[in-house]
A = this chain, B = another copy of it.
């Protein structure tokens, strides 16, 4: 769980999630919103992918990224567990 929070603890990665909230995007499209290199962006995408916050799918030359909404419930539950007093 700490690795998920770690993945969420960077402004640029939160911004990536914000972008993907609106619509699925290719790496190039995502990149337009940042002033970092594609190598750095790939690194951030890798981190988000490793903890299952995003998923990728190739479409022709492009690789499209999207939010992995299915992991959302799990994260909410974990956080809920942390704060729910009087419960195991």
Contact = CB atoms under 8 A, between A and B. Distances in A.
A72 B76 contact: no
Interface in A6-58: 6, 8-11, 14, 17-18, 21-22
Interface string A49-87: 000000000000000000101001001100110111100
**8 closest Cβ contacts across the A-B interface?**
A6-B9, A5-B8, A5-B9, A72-B83, A5-B5, A9-B9, A2-B11, A17-B82
Assembly of this chain: how many copies? 2
Majority DSSP secondary structure for residues of A touching B:
helix
Contacts of A22: 85
A22 to B, nearest CB: 8
A78 to B, nearest CB: 10
Contacts of A2: 8-11, 14
